[in-house]
Chain A
């Protein structure tokens, strides 16, 4: 019996691990880091930061325009700020960068078309994992017919 529980526990840990990996690779949108708000902070600064955190720095490896200290990222933050100040909506500013750099510039790919797969796959994997586990656990915990009758240990009984 204890061997079954160990197996069940191992399967649970494994499936959780697989699910974590699947989620980690999905590039699910992460909320922009909450920044320290100072007295001089304005709504424009906050909006600029939030938008810059959604744009990928072209000269860095995996950094957002907000997080990168590079000169180009600084200049891109200025462009974001300027465009927001000029009355463009955050979406219009994003489209400006997408039109020049392609969808690559977005830290999180938009959930449409082929990209939709990236967002749906973790859920699909999770459902399959749960179904797989249920089937497995039921198979493990179902008591074999002849074992049920042998409730009293029989020293002469050997494994088949």
Chain B
């Protein structure tokens, strides 16, 4: 009779401990986004700084439409001047975006719950970006992109779909590898090569 109790206890304890152990390997902060693979939410937002390498056609307070970028790769970085982690990725974004200036890869910063005045001061202190920063009144675009916080970076392919979402400070490796993968994928598709 005693062994029966032992077996029952083990049958309850082992799966429970296993489940708890599995829980330890998971990051409770990581929430999967349903956006990758779906069409990127469209937006038309005013640029409050045009950036050092923006095309001359774009002037301050001009609106930027995502739809006008179709066929190109778009990197959308949500940031704020009050966001500490955004400082960590600032240099990486600056240098990588400068390399892609004038190509078929377009970078945009989208300000999240912050005033353009604060952002301009912050950019003056941290170093200006080569690409335009867009204001997002009432965070409508941020909510459209299912934003949890800043920084978050979205990679949009030539097909207009969100290919990848990066939560937290973006690194040079992530930026370059994702951009190059998107450029290569679309090139292969255009050439009919799989």
Contacts and interface: CB of A to CB of B under 8 A. Distances in A.
Interface of A: 58-59, 71-72, 75-76, 78-79, 98-102, 104
B146 A75 contact: no
B79 to A, nearest CB: 15
Contacts of B117: none
Contacts of B118: none
B174 to A, nearest CB: 22
A122 to B, nearest CB: 18
A96 to B, nearest CB: 9
A144 to B, nearest CB: 18
Given A58-B148, A71-B113, A79 B34 contact: no
Interface of B: 31-35, 38, 41, 113, 138-140, 142-149
A34 B140 CA distance: 28
Given A75-B139, A76-B143, A79-B143, A59 B148 contact: yes
A75 B32 contact: no
Given A59-B149, A100-B145, A101-B146, A79 B35 contact: no
A75 B143 contact: yes
B161 to A, nearest CB: 14
Contacts of B148: 58-59, 101
Contacts of A75: 138-140, 143
Contact of B34 (A72, A76, A99): A99
A127 to B, nearest CB: 18
